[in-house]
Structure 1
Amino acid sequence: MESLKPLTLFGESILAGESKTISMEIAKLHTMNKLKVPIIIERSKVPGPTVLFSAGLHGDEINGTETVRQMIIKKLNKPKRGTIICIPIINIFGFVNQTREFPDKRDLNRVFPGSKGGSLASRFAYYIVKEILPNVDYVIDFHAGGAQRFNAPQIRIEQGKSELKELAEVFHAPFTLYSKNISGSFRNTCDKLGVKMLLFEGGKSLDLNDDITNEALQGSKRFLEHLDMLNPKKKASKPPHSSIYIQKSNWIRAKYSGMFHGIAQIGSFVKKGDILATISDPYGKVEHNVKSPNNGYLINVNHTPFVYQGDAIFHITTSLDT
């Protein structure tokens, strides 16, 4: 819980009640042009927690960037109390190049807590950990499915963390997936530093989806309302659905290469033996059915028109937390 003392980020002070945008500049483009990461800070005059809303850790996952952008234009980032920090794009290099990784081909979400003298991605991780996280109590980090794999809106938390489960229930995404923290990830570093993080997954890379954005915004409003930080002029809606808690899930992989024709819809419940898709040759001679191996919810659907044998095409739940 913060006091009314100034908040200092990258050498700049932000006073209680102040709005300020500062820039994180770690490295330039190879053309030597500056490339800055804007950090938007809104502080109330009333003491309270500090919440970070971040996106674009992977540069091609732009739906999270749109979510944080809308939080800013809708003034959801102006807190009733405490401080809200918004970083719409962390991996600015990947965003410019429309790629997941940094120019050094490293995944930023695998190099935390980073190194001051390491790779470009590692340096970004280092300064996020050194300059930002010490000031933060809570994080909601927005992600999307990689490539053409579309994620149903979901919150991911580590099992056995009671406070995270409570916050996930408050956010109330359609699905909550228990998943272990991965070494080198932003989430794992937050956990080690005592910062409470919810990781939101929804949609796919290089795609904007209004339904996913709305789920993320409504959940974030409920989250802020729970912390008594939501601007009184804004209203948090009651969730229109129950949240399904997922203990275990498996990938269904293509048994054949060919043209992929998806049938089953994202988020739907399917039964064992249901036809989920077909895989065919281009010449009208062969068509294979993809059948569900078990009863479960589809939390990821591949939207690609072509698959190779072994490609992940559906992510299906195998065990629910009842």
Structure 2
Amino acid sequence: MSNTKIDILHILGEEVLPGESKEVNFDVANLHTSTPVNVPVIIERSNKSGPIVLFTAGIHGDEVNGVEIVRQLIAKGINKPKIGTIICMPVINVFGFINLKREFPDGRDLNRVFPGNSNGSLAGRVAHKLTHEIIPHADLIIDFHTGGSGRFNAPQLRYSKGNTKLNDLAKVFGAPFVLYSKNVSKSFRTTCFKLNKPLLLFEGGKSFHIDDIVTNSGVNGSKRILKHLGMLNTGFKSSKPKNDCVFITESKWIRAKYSGMFKAVVPCGTHVEKEDILGHIMDPYGKFNYFVRARNSGFVINVNESPIVYQGDALFHISLELKK
């Protein structure tokens, strides 16, 4: 993944020289008030040749925890590489981030319109620009996401099964879990796959929330990857993960059998045994208390933290087959 030589980086109409730090603007459209919207792209280059790593977050505007991870990489100076180049885009969907909404103002999910269209919707235009002016420069992409709709994800990496290069990188990253997940049509991940750009998708926490454990997992994993590539500056240490990464080949959701008030009693990331009590569904009048039990042994990798659930709502995501 190394470049044979280092030269001028031409990106978004700007030139970034070796050894230079530069912030360029990923601009697509103004707000409806004609106010310009700046989407900063922070670029740090070493004088020494090496890979180009792209850190992205905020494809969904309500996924604040991912934004926090990339913010910390920048604020702590982890993005200043020993060799090569690091590009950071903390908030891709700044339109949604302003209002803490998942979608763009046009109602579209950016992660379902790739590779986009230069003459299409607002989301489509952003996807097109990202596909043609940012992705081609990267040798490796790490994209940070969180759980949605009140569901809390244990820190995990997601990518399609059978990719030995990503398996090796995932072990280096050291998230607690890897969930093999098929590429979704018109997603950022699928577009990168088609362009032969390796991408690790990190999921952790939930929307509208910053969690220290999840944030630390993302930051520490990023440092391990940079160290593996010879890019981590000597001023930073990279700790080994406490446990080996668990590779999950199959998983299943437990859904609510009844509507009511809901309370989970097992932390996300816990290993449970079949028939263990995972939570309770209750009525508001103290007359009904249903015990939600595990249908199989495995790791709980997602927990619904909503206090109110309806029949059929997803409550717990539990691994079925484990591979280390």
TM-score range normalised by the length of the shorter chain: over 0.9
Give the secondary-structure state (helix, strand or coil) at the position aligned to 2:35.
coil
CA shift at 1:281, angstroms? 0.7
CA contact 1:115–1:126 (8 Å) conserved in 2:
yes
Aligned counterpart, 1:101: 103
Q: Distance in 2 between matches of 1:240 and 1:309?
A: 38
CA contact 1:269–1:298 (8 Å) conserved in 2:
yes
Letter of the aligned partner of 2:6 in structure 1?
A: L
- Of 75, 78, 81, the residue aligned with 2:80 is 78
Give the secondary-structure state (helix, strand or coil) at the position aligned to 1:45.
coil
CA shift at 1:292, angstroms? 0.7
Aligned counterpart, 2:267: 265
Please list, as runs of the form range in 1=range in 2, the aligned pairs for 1:59-208 lying within 5 A after superposition.
59-208=61-210
- Of 8, 13, 17, the residue aligned with 1:6 is 8
Post-superposition CA distance 1:36-70 (Å, at most 9, x none): 10000000010111000000011000101100010
Gapped regions of structure 2 (runs ≥ 5) = none
1:281 aligns with 2:283: yes
CA contact 2:158–2:201 (8 Å) conserved in 1:
yes
Give the secondary-structure state (helix, strand or coil) at the position aligned to 1:32.
coil
Q: Distance in 2 between matches of 1:160 and 1:24?
A: 34
Aligned counterpart, 1:318: 320
CA shift at 1:87, angstroms? 0.4
Aligned counterpart, 1:238: 240
Give the secondary-structure state (helix, strand or coil) at the position aligned to 1:134.
helix
After superposing the two structures, state which structure 1 stretch, 77-86 or 25-34, moved more: 25-34
Q: Distance in 2 between matches of 1:273 and 1:154?
A: 25
Gapped regions of structure 1 (runs ≥ 5) = none
Q: Distance in 1 between matches of 2:312 and 2:296?
A: 19
Q: Distance in 2 between matches of 1:45 and 1:144?
A: 34
Give the secondary-structure state (helix, strand or coil) at the position aligned to 1:106.
coil
CA contact 1:7–1:14 (8 Å) conserved in 2:
yes
Give the secondary-structure state (helix, strand or coil) at the position aligned to 1:60.
coil
Aligned counterpart, 2:51: 49
Give the secondary-structure state (helix, strand or coil) at the position aligned to 2:243.
coil
CA shift at 1:306, angstroms? 0.3
CA shift at 1:241, angstroms? 1.3
Aligned length: 322
Give the secondary-structure state (helix, strand or coil) at the position aligned to 1:67.
helix
Aligned counterpart, 2:19: 17
Q: Distance in 2 between matches of 1:321 and 1:190?
A: 26
Letter of the aligned partner of 1:77 in structure 2?
A: N
CA contact 1:157–1:165 (8 Å) conserved in 2:
no
Post-superposition CA distance 1:264-284 (Å, at most 9, x none): 111001111111111111111
Aligned counterpart, 1:214: 216
Give the secondary-structure state (helix, strand or coil) at the position aligned to 1:13.
strand
CA shift at 1:110, angstroms? 0.8
Q: Percent identity, aligned pairs only?
A: 56
CA shift at 1:4, angstroms? 2.0
Aligned counterpart, 1:298: 300
Q: Distance in 1 between matches of 2:161 and 2:228?
A: 21
Q: Distance in 2 between matches of 1:27 and 1:33?
A: 9
Q: Distance in 2 between matches of 1:262 and 1:5?
A: 54
Post-superposition CA distance 1:159-204 (Å, at most 9, x none): 1111010000110100011111111111111111111110000000
- Of 18, 38, 41, the residue aligned with 2:40 is 38
Query: Normalization by structure 2: what TM-score?
Result: 0.98
CA shift at 1:211, angstroms? 0.8
Give the secondary-structure state (helix, strand or coil) at the position aligned to 1:150.
strand
CA contact 2:6–2:50 (8 Å) conserved in 1:
no
